[in-house]
Amino acid sequence: MKKAIFVFLLILLMLRGAVLAGDTFIYADGYSRTSDGQPPRHWIIGETKSPAPGESRPEYALGAPDGRLAGWGPGRGSIILDFLCKNGLGNVEGHDLFIWHFGGKSPKVFVTTDREKPINWHLVGSLSNTGKSHGPAVKEGFDFGKLKGVFHVKIEKTSFGFGTGHFVDAVCGMNGSSIP
């Protein structure tokens, strides 16, 4: 009996390891489009000078958090980030998407399962107002609901004016290829 319980527990442990083995984070690896009106500016944590006005650096929101951020000052704007891995981002138990950010107001976060041309957007939430005008960035999680295979994430800032700046350091989600 003890041997059977031991074998059963060993099998459960191996299954748990197999399930978790593929659950790796995928960071945004490109950007499809930024708003025409005001593309994202850059911001580097620790620098004493402000970002150059009008300089576009949407690639700063790609990859793991590194203190280089893309975002908007007092104007409106949006950026679409790509996750063009084989099956897109997966829907798992708990948070499916994580964003490192800081700033005022609450930009909206949308996702789409359209791989080729992102058209059908689904609202998954809004970034919180961190109450900071500069870093460090905070990590915030979102859930896809019933969506599976998310290939693009859009962050849209619709507020404008003093104190509405918002910057993004990184965006990542769970690897969809490991999700059944």
Q: What total number of domains does the chain contain?
A: 1
**Lowest-confidence pick of 33-37, 40-44, 50-54:** 50-54
Please give the C-alpha separations between residue 71 and each of 5, 38, 58, 86, in angstroms, as whole numbers: 55, 10, 8, 28
Q: Cβ distance 177 to 103 under 8 Å?
A: no
Considering the domain boundaries, does residue 53 fall inside one?
Answer: yes
What's the pTM value of the predicted model, to 2 decimals?
0.81
Has residue 140 got a pLDDT over 50? yes
- pLDDT score for 54: 60
- pLDDT score for 180: 41
Q: Cβ distance 166 to 105 under 8 Å?
A: yes
For residue 145, give the DSSP letter: T
The CATH number that applies at residue 32 is: 2.60.120.200
Higher confidence at residue 6 or residue 124? Answer: 124
Q: Which domain holds residue 132?
A: 25-178
Considering the domain boundaries, does residue 10 fall inside one?
Answer: no
pLDDT digits (tens, 9 = 90+) for 63-121: 999 999 998 888 888 999 999 888 889 888 889 999 999 998 899 999 999 998 899 99
Considering the domain boundaries, does residue 5 fall inside one?
Answer: no
Q: Which stretches of 22-165 are assigned E, i.e. beta strand? A: 25-27, 30-34, 41-44, 68-72, 77-82, 97-103, 108-112, 122-126, 138-142, 152-157
Q: What is the rounded distance in angstroms from the CA atom of residue 80 to the CA atom of residue 105? A: 19
From 80, 177, 100, select the one nearest 142 (Cα to Cα).
100
How many residues in total does the chain contain? Answer: 180
- pLDDT score for 48: 59
